[in-house]
Chains A and B, each alone.
Chain A
Amino acid sequence: MAMEIAQAIAAAKNGDKQAFHHVYQQFVGRVYAICWRLLANRQKAEDACQDVFIKVWQQLPAFRGDCSFATWLHSIATRTAIDLWRGEKYLRLTDSCDIQNELIEQTVACSSEDVPLEQAIQRLPPQARAVFVLFALEGYQHQEIASLLGIKEGTSKAQYFRARQLLQEWLADE
């Protein structure tokens, strides 16, 4: 399987769309999970996921294999989702109506996931959610998260603590 993917990546580098489709099928679940958990909205996660694969296709010829393809793809997915998350943060500050709409959309998106923790993560405040997803699920360190989200390291730690407290509280109620 690893050999097959390596061949597909090499062929996609040379512009083979069929091979790139194979790469997409292999990694779409992982990419979508990052986008969905960070953005907490199905439509936005789908858009982000598509953007990730477009970027991967465009930047693939420059990929030299210094790190594994999965690591490289993971980094593009995280940064793309965070860029959108930042945009969302701006919109939240400017239009309170969006917050209501977003909450409704979130509930719809959550109904597709039956895992209580998954639903609780979606309910977290945006910054706490982003920090929690990056630290607990994606394995980033607080220093890296601070740099990615443009916050202080202490803020990242505080938000993680807050996220854990909220999750424990909500899941205990169920």
Chain B
Amino acid sequence: MNEQQLDQAIKGLTQQITPERNLWPEIESRLTLPGKAGKSRRLIRALATAAMLGLVSVMGWQLLLLPSAPESSLANLPTAELMLLQVFEQQKARQLSQMAEVNEGFDNWQQQLQVWDQAIVQVRGALQFYPDEPQLLAQLQRLYQQQLSYIQRATLHHNSVIS
């Protein structure tokens, strides 16, 4: 096929494709009256922002304590685990502090973060028995990366808002 034939084929493509199933019933069930939706969204976002600020302040406080508490259990952690913990927790705190608003569909973001936190606790528990075990460290790193990626997706970026 030459350039011209391809251009012809492109011109011949239809502008519309009908979905194989009717999408309207699901759309309709998700429609709320604009005014009402706006109010509830604002309320949810305000609550989420307040909760987020609370979480950030607690995490910030923990990070401040981290270097000045050599007697804490953290001081006894193997180097690799401690490094991962410090790097990712700091990054997480920074991302959360930059989180202006929560994207739509991420209203339960705190519960989601808790699920990852629980998984992180379990892997760290296993690391107590097998310190510096490469597979467990990789798993810990993956969990943190997933959590950070989720926070990024939950954050409302200005360029994703269409007006």
Contact = CB atoms under 8 A, between A and B. Distances in A.
A58 B38 CA distance: 8
A33 B1 contact: no
B31 interface: yes
A49 B38 CA distance: 21
Contact of B153 (A21, A59, A87): A87
Contact of B17 (A33, A58, A168): A33
Contacts, number: 95
Which secondary structure dominates where chain A touches chain B?
A: helix
A76 B10 CA distance: 23
Contacts of B6: 117, 164, 167-168, 171
B27 A54 contact: yes
A55 B14 contact: no
B21 A115 contact: no
A8 B6 CA distance: 39
Contacts of B16: 29-30, 32-33
Interface string B1-35: 11101100110111111111101101110110111
A83 to B, nearest CB: 6
Range, interface on chain A:
35 or more
Nearest to B160: A83
Contact of B24 (A21, A58, A76): A21
B85 to A, nearest CB: 22
Contacts of B14: 33
Contact of A32 (B3, B18, B26): B18
A33 B19 CA distance: 9
Interface in A1-58: 13, 15, 17, 20-21, 24-25, 28-30, 32-33, 36-37, 42, 45-46, 49-50, 53-55, 57-58
B163 interface: yes
B13 A79 contact: no
A57 B6 CA distance: 38
A33 B18 CA distance: 8
Interface of B: 1-3, 5-6, 9-10, 12-21, 23-24, 26-28, 30-31, 33-35, 37-38, 149, 153, 160, 162-163
Given A49-B23, A58-B38, 9 more contacts: A24-B24, A24-B27, A28-B19, A50-B30, A53-B23, A54-B31, A79-B160, A168-B2, A171-B9
